[in-house]
Structure formats: C-alpha cells, structure tokens
C-alpha cells in the first residue's frame, strides 16, 4: 500500500489501459478519479471496482478535446478528493492511414487529444502536486519505431510526449515532482484486441514474448513510477511492449 493517502487522476480511465491503471493505483492505496467522454456505464463500473477495495473513487465527464473541460476536471478532483498527488495522462486517440490521406479533422483530433490535453492537464495539476508529485503520460512504443506504414501522424503525437516529459523533468525537479512516460506496445483492449485478426497476429509475432500485453502489465509500470521508490526516476521513458522494440 505504498500509495496510501495519495490522490490520483487518470484521464481516459473508463476502459482499456486507463481503467487498468486506475484500478492498479487503487490497489496500491490511492484514491482515484477518472475522466471519461462517452462511456458513463463503464466509468461507473471502474468506480465501483475501486470502491470495493476500500478506496474513494469518482468519475468526471470531460471531453479531452475541450481544454476547458480538461482544466475543470483537475479542479474537480482537488475539490472532491481534497488534493492531487498523481496525474496519469492516459487518454488518447488513434487515426491511422497513409499520411497523404489524413484529413485536417484527423490531424486536429490527434493533436488536441494526444498532445494538447496532456499539456493542459499538466498545467492545471502542477500547482496542486507539491513535493513527491508524479506526472506520468502514456505514450506508445511507436513513438520510437516505425514497424509498418500508416502511423506517421499518430506516432508524431506520441513522440511529442517524450520532449515534453524530458523538459518538464528539468523544470519541475526542483519542486520534487517527477515526470515520466510509459510506452505500451500491443495491449489487449477494445481499440486493439489481441484477437483482432491479421494485424493482431503480426503484432504478436513482433514481440519477443509472443503475446499481447494486458492493461495490468501497463498498470504495474505506472504504479511503480507513482510510488515513493521511484523518487529518483524522472525524465525517463519506460517501454512496456514485450520486447517489440528490442
């Protein structure tokens, strides 16, 4: 229970990797808030799962493409849970296809959710985090490798998190706040199911361990970075992809 007494916000925490992270932090003792855009029933299910293990939990409806909603969600966490110690930027969207065919709408969606929402959430969270604060963003192993075409714009937004993290680690280190990125590889979620046909089979073959990851695999890495044992880890990139990028 190394996170006992800590308050966490996991953006995009109603399903998939975000839901796994929210539950993982709660299992380590944290009270957890999640945001969601279109899945109120699943958000409520995550809240119930956290409450069953004796931690406080709230779900906040907030469209990450709306910077006002993102900022307000941070303030709501502080009001409802009495503070904020851990911010996990888990929300994300994917628009894939040949770069020349991407619409301006596709590009705007990628930038607003994958990059701007993270920046706005961090700006809003910094005044509340204090000594021992944690900022953890969920990137992608595709930020550093191009295994196949069609990921250029998506990968660019995830690469942006690397620069943001490293520079913020320098800026926030004197305040005792660490900033890190976790980069999942193929992970079994609704957006990328392990039984998803030929693409899933190809991804599985590209891993060193021969399987998809699970949300719990990613949650374990995030929980480590969030706890006091990781106080000397900042500006770092932790890739959790079963050896996909090896």
Q: What is the pLDDT of residues 185-198, one digit of tens each?
A: 999 998 889 998 88
Judged against a pLDDT cut of 90, whether residue 141 lies above it is answered with: yes
What are the structure tokens assigned to 71, written together? 């900022």
Q: Which residues 6+ apart lie within 8 Å of 52 measured at CB?
A: none
Q: What does pLDDT average to over the chain?
A: 96
Question: What percent of the chain shows pLDDT beyond 90?
Answer: 92
Nearest one of 88, 72, 70 to 22, comparing CA atoms: 88
Instruction: Return the pLDDT at 196.
Output: 86
Higher pLDDT, 14 or 192: 14
Average confidence (pLDDT) over 161-170: 98
CA–CA dist 185, 180 (Å, integer): 16
What are the structure tokens assigned to 185, written together? 């590889």
CA–CA dist 105, 109 (Å, integer): 6
Judged against a pLDDT cut of 90, whether residue 232 lies above it is answered with: yes
Judged against a pLDDT cut of 90, whether residue 120 lies above it is answered with: yes
Number of Cβ atoms within 10 Å of the Cβ of 49: 16
Phi/psi region, residue 146 (left: phi>0; alpha: psi -120 to 50; beta: rest), is beta
Q: Could you tell me if 180 and 231 are in contact, meaning their C-beta atoms sit under 8 angstroms apart?
A: no
Question: What are the CA-CA distances from residue 123 to residues 21, 40, 87, 112 (Å)?
Answer: 21, 26, 11, 15
CA–CA dist 215, 229 (Å, integer): 22
Judged against a pLDDT cut of 90, whether residue 111 lies above it is answered with: yes
Higher pLDDT, 199 or 176: 176
Residues labelled catalytic: 154
In order, the DSSP letters of 88-111 are EE-------S-GGG--HHHHHHHI
Q: What is the pLDDT of residues 87-107, one digit of tens each?
A: 999 999 999 999 999 999 999
Question: What percent of the chain shows pLDDT beyond 70?
Answer: 100
Any idea which of 77-81, 89-93, 155-159, 190-194 has the lowest mean pLDDT? Answer: 190-194
Judged against a pLDDT cut of 90, whether residue 158 lies above it is answered with: yes
pTM for this entry: 0.96
Question: What are the CA-CA distances from residue 143 to residues 93, 153, 156, 223 (Å)?
Answer: 14, 10, 7, 22
């Amino acid at each position: 229970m190394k996170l006992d007494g800590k308050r966490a916000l996991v953006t995009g925490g109603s399903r998939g990797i975000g839901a796994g992270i929210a539950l993982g932090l709660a299992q380590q003792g944290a009270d957890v808030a999640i945001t969601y855009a279109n899945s109120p029933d699943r958000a409520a299910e995550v809240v119930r799962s956290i409450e069953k293990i004796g931690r406080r939990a709230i779900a906040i409806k907030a469209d990450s493409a709306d910077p006002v909603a993102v900022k307000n969600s941070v303030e709501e966490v502080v009001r409802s849970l009495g503070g904020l110690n851990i911010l996990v930027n888990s929300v994300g969207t994917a628009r894939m296809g040949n770069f020349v065919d991407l619409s301006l709408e596709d590009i705007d969606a990628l930038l607003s959710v994958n990059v701007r929402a993270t920046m706005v959430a961090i700006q809003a969270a910094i005044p509340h985090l204090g000594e021992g604060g944690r900022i953890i963003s969920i990137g992608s192993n595709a930020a550093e490798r191009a295994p196949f075409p069609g990921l250029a714009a998506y990968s660019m937004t995830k690469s942006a998190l690397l620069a943001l993290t490293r520079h913020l680690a320098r800026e926030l280190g004197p305040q005792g706040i660490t900033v890190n990125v976790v980069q999942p590889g193929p992970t079994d979620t609704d957006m990328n199911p392990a039984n998803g046909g030929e693409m899933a089979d190809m991804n599985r073959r590209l891993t060193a361990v021969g399987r998809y990851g699970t949300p719990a695999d990613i949650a374990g890495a995030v929980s480590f970075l969030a706890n006091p044992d990781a106080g000397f880890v900042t500006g770092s990139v932790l890739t959790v992809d079963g050896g996909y990028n090896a």
